[in-house]
Amino acid sequence: MKLIITSIVSLLFAGSVFAGCPSKPINGKVVSFDEESKTLTVAMGKKEKKVQVGSKTTMVGFECPTELTKDTRVSITGCNCSNKTASKVSVNKGKKKAS
């Protein structure tokens, strides 16, 4: 009986480890930035993601999210599913055209 209970409990703990959302970088173009809610909307192809920009968010290549113009390529890292606040937002350079 102890063996069955131990295995059930260990499976529950193992399931909770994989229940988290992976923090993958978000690469896309800026659609808009709402100053009131501090929400940055980024288009990734046909999908749009909304990410909160907090006071601890590191900004690389610019100083304030209001400086970002539409269609600026950005990379957002450290955004998790629980609070959707980015830890780093950086400006990416566009793809180089072959000459």
Domain boundaries, the chain: 22-91
Q: Is 75 helix (H, G, I), strand (E, B) or coil?
A: strand
In one letter, which amino acid is 9? Answer: V
DSSP per residue, 40-60: EEEEETTEEEEEEEEEEEEEE
pTM: 0.65
Residue 47 tokens read as: 């999908």
Average pLDDT in the 17-37 region?
75
pLDDT of residue 24: 75
Residue with tokens 């998790």: 80
pLDDT tens for 44-97 read 888 888 888 888 888 888 888 888 888 889 888 877 666 677 788 888 876 544
Architecture of the domain whose range is 22-91: Beta Barrel (2.40)
Selected residue with higher pLDDT from 17 and 72: 72
